[in-house]
Amino acid sequence: MTQAVDPASAPSSIDTAHAHDGTPEGTGALALGAIGVVFGDIGTSPLYALKESFVGHHPLTVDRLHIYGVLSLIFWTMMLIVTVKYVLLILRADNKGEGGSLALLALISRRLGAAKWKNGIIMLGVAATALFYGDAIITPAVSVLSAVEGLTVVQDGLEHMVLPIAVLILIGLFAIQSYGTARVGALFGPIMVFYFVIIALLGITSVAAQPAILGSVNPLWAVRFFIIDPKLAFLALGSVVLAVTGAEALYADMGHFGRKAIGISWLYIALPCLLLNYMGQGALLLSDPKTVENPFYLMAPDWARLPLVILATMATVIASQAVISGAFSVTQQAVQLGFLPRLKIVNTSAKAAGQIYVPFVNWALLVLVIMITLGFKNSGNLAAAYGIAVTGTMFITACMFGVLAFAVWKWPPVVAGLVTGGFLLIDGLYFASNLTKVPDGGWFPLLVAAVAFTFLTTWARGRKILRDRLGHSDLTMEMFIASTAKSLKRVSGTAIFMSASPTAVPTALLHNVKHNKVLHERVVVLTVKMEQVPHVPIEKRIETFALPANFYRVILHFGFMDEADIPAALAQAKDCNGIFRAMDTSYFLGRQTLIASAHPGMAVWREQLFAWMVRNAESAMEFFRLPTNRVVELGSQVEL
């Protein structure tokens, strides 16, 4: 579409673009896939959640009151947090079909416009993202360790083998990430369904010996627990919430499977199987309190424990794979939305756009996962660190849901207030309980989140300052064309100058004119805009604005889940006085050397951090898939 108007004033039509036009896959196939990817984390929580409630950092007496009280809390936590909050409500907050903290942030930001408290919402979304990285480090370690620890139940004297085996499994898991999950992904669903069936059967067998345990679903048991032993009941919440670790994955992976498939998988497979297993563990504890050392494995007969260890280890690897893939997706969204510098992102599947591999994130996660595995040594110690990342993310999601209900969905204030207040109260109690674990390991996810938050906010703030510095000029494109088009020699070919601003004259263009004193026959000023939607349809991706003297402004719109392939997008352009021929087109990029200064903006140490991030970012040439032999970089120095 060729328009002779100012691109800065042109309205954007991207907001109406839908991310998905539907999927040819049936709901049943999607539900099976969701079981394998979405529910791996929450599905492996029975390995440690109930055990930690009794033998963790705040141990409980293994008696009827505490067993029934903890089981009642687990049941109602699953019902209120997972079923009501996430499945019934949060999954409705989709951003063109996509979910997760950053997708929710983009949705709210787009709808709020220039609201005064928009910056506060952005900080909440960034904080949730930062906490997710802590979760992504702890989940593989605690999951794999808790599964391998089953060897100590199979045979005495194998304690010394747990740590080496767990480390080898983790190294192998991260080593295969570059191959992608497309080939093995089809196996995830059936394996996890088999795992869920087995843990349900174990639970049923144990419940059959103590059927009265089913009465623990009565919420009065949880109330009685708090009345008789309020301090320990409050502290127990920090372990009980481990039963719903991975609930955030329901929302984050919504774009892959859809709300309906995830809801079906949870309500008809994951939820009943998990509850049966927890009831079975409770029944076992009633019969023999000594089994509290590992009730999950001790429910199985002797001959079945080694196969169960193998199956549980496979399930934890799948759970870890899901959170690692999630870290890749979140990183891609953060890069596209301007919270992280450009990173190398490799597509591992020609068919599934969402299957990506981010080498830097993969190896950084591996190093940190191995460090905490060797440092914490067992799943019990790691469980103390696990809860803070989970409950912190849940609490922030509840806050953002409140903004969504009041400002975007326009619910009646009373209804929005009651629902949001209820979620904030529940999530706040769980978060407060986990804060008591800070000295016992809870400091780790908070440290990771603080570091991640610093990187995310420093990059976003630094980019804004850099844009302001580079964009501070009274020279308009029209003035530039009028002063240079007739006075400079025109050479054959097309020159494309990348520009962050849709109105300013690119610094690379100014430097080219200053030093080379020529203009190409066709000059295109190209701006890439990352929209706050997951995907932008091809037909709405390109905007073209004709300027005098064979100059053009082109704006390419990409969603935060799209691959920003500039040559492929320009191949669709029709209104730029002809097509873009690869061997006649040169791309000119500006490369800034940043110098920390005392100018107002950021602290000097943050300016130095930003400059380091700029130096280590992937080049625009690689990120935008530009042909390596057609790129010219022109440098300059900029004081922050």
**Same structural domain, 56 and 189:** yes
CA dihedral 507, 512, 515, 517 (to 10 degrees): -130
Mean pLDDT of 604-608: 85
When pLDDT is cut at 50, 70 and 90, the band that residue 309 belongs to is very high
- Total domain count, the chain: 2
Least confident window among 62-71, 299-308, 444-453, 581-590: 581-590
Task: Summarize the confidence of residues 304-329 as an average pLDDT.
Answer: 87
**Structural domain contains residue 122:** yes
Mean pLDDT of 608-623: 83
Say how far apart CA 618 and CA 342 lie, in whole Å: 5
What pLDDT score does 633 carry? 79
Is the confidence at residue 352, as pLDDT, over 60? no
Output the pLDDT for position 227: 94
Lowest mean pLDDT among 266-275, 373-382, 556-565: 556-565
* Average predicted confidence (pLDDT) for the chain: 83
Given a cut of 60, whether residue 388 has pLDDT beyond it is yes
* Inside any domain, residue 185: yes
Which residue, of 411, 437, 460, is where some domain finishes?
460
Q: What is the CATH number of the domain that holds 158?
A: 1.20.1740.10
Please indicate, yes or no, whether residues 414 and 389 belong to a single structural domain of this protein. Answer: yes
In this predicted structure, which of 14-23, 27-36, 302-311 has the lowest mean pLDDT?
A: 14-23
Residue 86 DSSP symbol:
I
> Are residues 133 and 47 part of one domain?
yes
| pLDDT band of 13, cuts 50, 70, 90 | very low
Residues 350, 140, 326, 407, Cα dihedral to 10° = 170
The whole-number pLDDT of residue 362 equals: 92
pLDDT digits (tens, 9 = 90+) for 33-87: 778 778 888 898 999 899 989 988 788 999 999 999 999 999 999 999 999 999 9
Cα end-to-end distance, the chain, whole Å? 37
Task: Examine the domain organization and report whether 353 and 387 are in the same domain.
Answer: yes
**Residues 531-555, mean pLDDT to the nearest whole number:** 84
* pLDDT score at 504: 77
Q: How far apart are CA 421 and CA 130, in angstroms?
A: 24
pLDDT at 171 (0 to 100): 93
Per-residue pLDDT of 228-270, as tens digits, reads: 999 999 999 989 999 998 887 778 777 667 788 888 999 999 9
My answer on whether 395 and 480 are in the same domain is no
Contacts of 221 (CB under 8 A, 6+ apart): 68, 69, 71, 72, 215
In the chain, what is the greatest distance between 2 CA atoms, to the nearest angstrom? 94
- Judge if 82 and 183 occupy the same domain: yes
Cβ proximity of 607 and 597 under 8 Å: yes
Structure confidence at residue 224 (pLDDT): 95
Q: Which residue has the higher pLDDT, 326 or 130?
A: 130
Candidates 289, 246, 261, 247; CA nearest to 60 is 289
Which of the listed residues 460, 489, 510 is the one where a domain comes to its end?
460
Instruction: Verify that 199 and 333 share a domain, yes or no.
Output: yes
185 pLDDT higher than 60: no
C-alpha span between 626 and 346 (Å, rounded): 15
| Residue 444 and residue 593 share a domain | no
pLDDT tens figures, 473-502: 557 788 888 888 778 888 888 999 988 777
Report the pLDDT value the prediction gives residue 149, as an integer from 0 to 100.
87
449 and 598 both lie in a single domain: no
pLDDT band at 7 (very low <50, low <70, confident <90, very high): very low
Q: Let me know if residue 32 belongs to a domain.
A: no
* Global pTM value: 0.79
Average pLDDT on 158-176 reads 89
User: 616: exposed, middle or buried (C-beta count within 10 Å: 0-12, 13-18, 19+)?
Assistant: exposed
- Measured CA to CA, the distance from residue 425 to residue 433 in angstroms comes to 12
CA–CA separation, 499 and 523 (whole Å): 13
Token pair 């530039």 is found at 480
Task: Say whether both 432 and 529 belong to one domain.
Answer: no
d(CA 262, CA 65): 34
Amino acid letter at 413? P
Structural domain including 191 reads 38-460
Task: Calculate mean pLDDT across residues 533-549.
Answer: 84
Q: Give the DSSP H/E element, type plus range, for residue 199.
A: helix 182-209
Question: Domain ends where: 429, 460, 491?
Answer: 460
For residues 364 and 243, what is the distance between their CA atoms, to the nearest angstrom? Answer: 27
Quickly state the pLDDT bin for 1 (edges 50, 70, 90).
very low
In a domain, 630, yes or no: yes
pLDDT band at 188 (very low <50, low <70, confident <90, very high): confident
Euclidean distance between CA atoms 182 and 582, whole angstroms = 32
Statement: residue 608 has pLDDT above 80: yes
Q: Which residue has the higher pLDDT, 526 or 118?
A: 526
Residue 554 three-state SS: strand
Q: What's the pLDDT score for residue 508? A: 84
Q: Which residue's entry shows tokens 């076992």?
A: 284
Spell out the SS3 assignment of 287-338: HCHHHHHCHHHHCCCHHHHHHHHHHHHHHHHHHHHHHHHHHHHHHHHHHHCC
**17 lies in a domain?**
no
- Residue 119 included in any domain: yes
Judge if 117 and 209 occupy the same domain: yes
The predicted pLDDT at position 8 comes to 40
* 479 and 413 both lie in a single domain: no
Give the highest mean pLDDT range of 174-188, 422-436, 555-569.
Answer: 422-436
User: What is the C-alpha to C-alpha distance for residues 168 and 317, in angstroms, rounded to an integer?
Assistant: 12
- Is 20 within a domain? no
- What average pLDDT does this structure show over 156-160? 80
Residue 28 pLDDT greater than 80, yes or no:
no
pLDDT at 15: 46
The answer to whether residue 33 sits within a structural domain is: no
pLDDT of residue 12: 44
